[in-house]
């Protein structure tokens, strides 16, 4: 039996996310967007091994983003935005680059710092990568410069954007 909690979307829930949520092992979709939580993202989410979709946009949650490892190999969508709290160094292995089914990764305004990991090139199924509104530095990886997939790297602090398509160049260099 597949479990889906999309009904938590936009319910103006407050407080912490109940730890019991991690007991729903067959959960395939978790939508926590548009709420007013006041806690960090629970590390226990790593135990939701059937999860395909994780949405936490404007949820009121705080970072850091817990590690998303290969135990979540069914994940197709990771959409997290507008996190409160301290900066998270993105050079930590936050997201295991061996997630074979990942199609959409959106980490918008999540207080991420550091460089985009080169291991992200291993996301062979990725169609959308939005990392806008963070504080990334360094060079934009070569594989991103060459991609034809949808990318948004705007509102970051890259030192070197290199040569890429005009649309991607505008996405990379746009500043607030």
Other CB atoms closer than 10 Å to residue 99's CB: what's the count? 22
Please report where in the chains the tokens 């007013």 appear, as a residue: 36
- SS3 percent helix, strand, coil of the chain, rounded to 5, is 20, 25, 55
Query: From first to last of its 176 residues, what are the pLDDT tens digits of the chain?
Result: 455 555 677 788 899 988 788 888 888 998 889 999 998 888 888 788 888 999 999 999 988 887 776 567 888 999 999 998 888 876 655 676 678 899 999 999 999 998 888 778 888 889 999 999 999 999 888 888 888 889 999 999 988 776 655 556 666 655 43
Q: Which domains are seen in the chain, by residue range?
A: 3-173 (3.80.10.10)
Which helix or strand (DSSP H or E) is residue 171 part of?
Answer: helix 166-173
Closest CA to 175 of 138, 115, 134: 134
Other CB atoms closer than 10 Å to residue 2's CB: what's the count? 9
Handedness of CA 99, 88, 47, 106 (dihedral sign): negative
Tokens of 23: 């007991």
Residue 83 DSSP label: -
């Amino acid at each position: 039996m597949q479990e889906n909690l999309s009904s938590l979307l936009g319910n103006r829930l407050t407080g912490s996310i109940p730890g019991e949520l991690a007991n729903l092992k067959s959960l395939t979709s978790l939508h926590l967007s548009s709420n007013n939580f006041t806690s960090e993202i629970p590390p226990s989410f790593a135990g939701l091994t059937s999860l395909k979709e994780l949405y936490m946009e404007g949820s009121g949650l705080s970072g850091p983003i817990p590690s998303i490892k290969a135990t979540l190999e069914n994940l197709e969508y990771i959409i997290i935005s507008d996190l409160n709290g301290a900066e998270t160094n993105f050079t930590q292995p936050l997201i295991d680059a061996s997630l074979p089914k990942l199609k959409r990764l959106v980490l918008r305004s999540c207080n991420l710092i550091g460089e985009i990991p080169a291991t992200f090139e291993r996301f062979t199924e990725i169609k959308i990568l939005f990392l806008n509104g963070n504080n990334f530095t360094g060079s934009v990886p070569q594989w991103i410069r060459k991609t034809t997939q949808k990318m948004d790297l705007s509102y970051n602090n890259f030192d070197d954007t290199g040569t890429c398509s005009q649309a991607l160049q505008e996405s990379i260099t746009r500043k607030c």
